[in-house]
Homo-oligomer: A and B are copies of this chain.
Amino acid sequence: MGDASIPLRLHPSGKTIRAEPGVPLIEALANAGIILDAPCGGEGVCGKCRVIVREGAAAPLAAERRLLSEAELKAGVRLACQTKAVRPARIEVPELSRLAEFHQILSGAPNHHRSTAIDAAIRKQHVELAAPSRDDDASDAARLERAIGPFEADLRVLGSLPGRLREARFCGTAVLAEDRLLDFEPGDTRGQSFAVAVDIGTTTLAAALVDLVSGEELAVATQLNPQTRFGDDVLTRIQMAAGDGGLARLQASVLEAVDRLIESLAASAGIQRGEIYEVAFAGNTTMQHLLCRLDPRCLGEVPFVPAVRTALRFPARELPLKIHPSGRVYVLPVIGGFVGGDTVAGMLTTDLADQPGPTLLVDVGTNGEIVLSAHGKLSAAAAAAGPAFEGARITHGMRACAGAIERVTFDGTLAIETIGRAAPLGLCGSALIDLAAILLDFQVISPEGRFRRSSDLPPGTPDDIRQRVSDDPQNRAFLLVPVEQSAAGQAIVLNQRDIRQLQLASGAIRTGIELLLSRAGIEPGQVAALYLAGGFGNYIRRAKARRIGLIPPSIPGDRIRYCGNTSLAGARLALLSREKRREAERLAARTMHIDLAADPQFQWTFADAMIFPSGDQ
């Protein structure tokens, strides 16, 4: 940090952080580990990254004048993506603007029919060696090899071996990753062996601390992918990576968050970072590229070629990650430019290739991935759903955190539930689907997605629906929460543009499902099972997902299964089983990667999929 850096004192913690002059506060705060909500990618559009600058505020910019009231501006409220560090300042970050905590359930071992024996890549072997003597002057490496078999080792491990062996009086525990020696520890440490599984989502990171001896998950933690401040979708980041220093910044950004996750996992389980020997990562192809600083430029253009598809194994210090000094990284193999290690992890977790009937895996996220296993063949496609399901690009959308409406029901009157029972701030993906399904049922929106005027609603439409329909032809909308009940400072509505965003997101995934089935000659009704994956997947109500056509309505609802964060679960399997790693490689290699956009049927199918199903299915 240069000498010209500017001190920013945080209220109420009293902590001072420093920022380079001209850096937007959102970045300065992110660098200090304080991640703000910015679904618009820091473009001054969503107005969510509010901070209060108590002293040293700069004059508000146009975007701030547009999104903030006069009273707010006077009180020092600013948008952290717009206002820049220009002079020493005192800053308060309202809890609401933070994204430190997520409401997300990480299921441990979902849908696991077959239990896998633990056969981790990291293994420990306790040995007692004879000390060197004039009759036995074998090198230290050869002495150890006599006991544990041939191994490879980095220079630093070989270099410290004389000291390690003697500190342990030649009686200790060899730590190996496959056939690579990582350490020689004094005493018998076989009971202590840990690893971390990480799901690198475009929006959210989730990590689990795994006990490699028992196979148990000792702790989990999640956090926002701080790369979101550079843009909420994959393509924006690919473009940024192409710029000068962009890739390095993106990598540093995600690594810093992974570092914090590891710190928090170790702290909550009461172990040392040095006892973590391996970290396994699963994410979409772009996230894995950014993590490993692999040039992602070709993921942004036809035909979306990854740098490498196979699994990666390398020293953790190459990223770097602060775990055991000789710790390792494993990154799952990918299927194609938009079907990544997270999908392979999902296939691994669900045993997708071994299911008896035609089976689908659908991972609903910023990028939706669909895999079909049928007749011994595997095919996969990516659907550019966009971040609507994560609350972005929806007028009052937000991520699934405290204050988010996560459920909307109608039982005579419209009712909402919020996360943390807080006053409502906006709606997250599951509520968006709920509400759209209700509006379709009451014909407030047509199958084509158009808002009807209240006067056009069928007779018998309940008052609590009819009264909420705005008839302003310039801005047709449905009132979900009136201003006086809202914590957002304004009414929470769903408008015509939001419905279009939902149609695009839902239609993209539906198109993927339909095209994969059609190519395999399978009717939706023949699907034996559909696994709904992704952190968000768990909150989607099946009936509603069918109602809005996210899932073909002809797939019976009872064949839809939730399987949670299979990306994280698959990364964990890769830590615990070398056989699962081999299987991941095989799955990635044999899965046919379908480029949906190149399918001649794509346009027609997509156009059809944008139409909401009629209500009688």
**Interface, chain A (partner B; CB < 8 A):** 132-134, 136-143, 154-156, 158-163, 166, 292-298, 302-310, 312, 314, 318, 336-337, 593, 595, 598
Contacts and interface: CB of A to CB of B under 8 A. Distances in A.
Contacts of A159: 292-295, 307
A141 B309 CA distance: 8
Contacts of A154: 314, 318
Given A142-B310, A159-B294, A159-B295, 16 more contacts: A137-B336, A137-B337, A137-B595, A138-B305, A139-B307, A140-B308, A154-B314, A155-B314, A156-B293, A158-B308, A159-B293, A159-B307, A161-B307, A162-B305, A163-B295, A166-B298
Contact of A141 (B132, B302, B308): B308
Contact of A132 (B143, B298, B309): B298
17 contacts: A132-B298, A132-B303, A134-B303, A137-B337, A138-B305, A138-B309, A139-B308, A139-B309, A140-B305, A141-B308, A154-B314, A155-B318, A158-B308, A162-B294, A162-B307, A163-B295, A166-B298
A33 B293 CA distance: 37
Contacts of A302: 134
B158 A294 contact: yes
A379 B162 CA distance: 26
Contacts of A307: 139-141, 158-159, 161-162
A162 B304 contact: no
Nearest to A598: B134
Contacts of A310: 141-142
Contacts of A160: 295
Contacts of A133: 303
Contacts of A337: 137
The residue among A138, A156, A307, A595 with the most chain B CB atoms within 10 A of its own CB is A307
Contact of A137 (B137, B143, B293, B303): B303
Contacts of A136: 303
A198 B445 CA distance: 79
A139 B293 CA distance: 16
Nearest to A299: B162
A595 B303 CA distance: 65
A137 B305 contact: yes
The residue among A134, A137, A293, A306 with the most chain B CB atoms within 10 A of its own CB is A137
A303 B133 CA distance: 6
Nearest to A336: B137
A318 to B, nearest CB: 5
A297 B162 contact: yes
Given A292-B159, A314-B155, A305 B595 contact: no
Contacts of A141: 307-310
Contacts of A293: 155-156, 159
The residue among A132, A142, A295 with the most chain B CB atoms within 10 A of its own CB is A295
Contacts of A137: 303-305, 336-337, 593, 595
B163 A309 contact: no
A143 B598 CA distance: 21
Nearest to A298: B162
A280 to B, nearest CB: 16
A142 B309 contact: yes
A161 B595 contact: no
A238 to B, nearest CB: 11
A314 B158 CA distance: 12
Nearest to A334: B139
A298 B136 CA distance: 13
Contacts of A308: 139-142, 158, 161
Given A141-B310, A308-B140, A314-B155, A297 B134 contact: no
Nearest to A292: B155
B312 A155 contact: yes
A595 B134 contact: yes
A592 B134 CA distance: 13
Contacts of A294: 155, 158-159, 162
A26 B295 CA distance: 47
Given A134-B598, A155-B314, A163 B305 contact: no
Nearest to A303: B137
Nearest to A140: B307
A92 B593 CA distance: 65
Contacts of A163: 295, 297
A427 to B, nearest CB: 38
A292 B303 CA distance: 45
A314 B155 CA distance: 8
A363 B302 CA distance: 63
A162 B296 CA distance: 8
Contacts of A142: 308-310
Going nearest first, the 8 A-B pairs with the smallest beta carbon separation are A141-B308, A137-B303, A159-B294, A139-B309, A162-B295, A139-B306, A132-B305, A134-B303
Contacts of A336: 137
A589 to B, nearest CB: 10
A296 B158 CA distance: 11
Nearest to A162: B295
A129 to B, nearest CB: 12
Nearest to A314: B155
A142 B593 CA distance: 15
The residue among A132, A163, A294, A337 with the most chain B CB atoms within 10 A of its own CB is A294
A99 to B, nearest CB: 29
Given A310-B141, A336-B137, A337-B137, A161 B598 contact: no
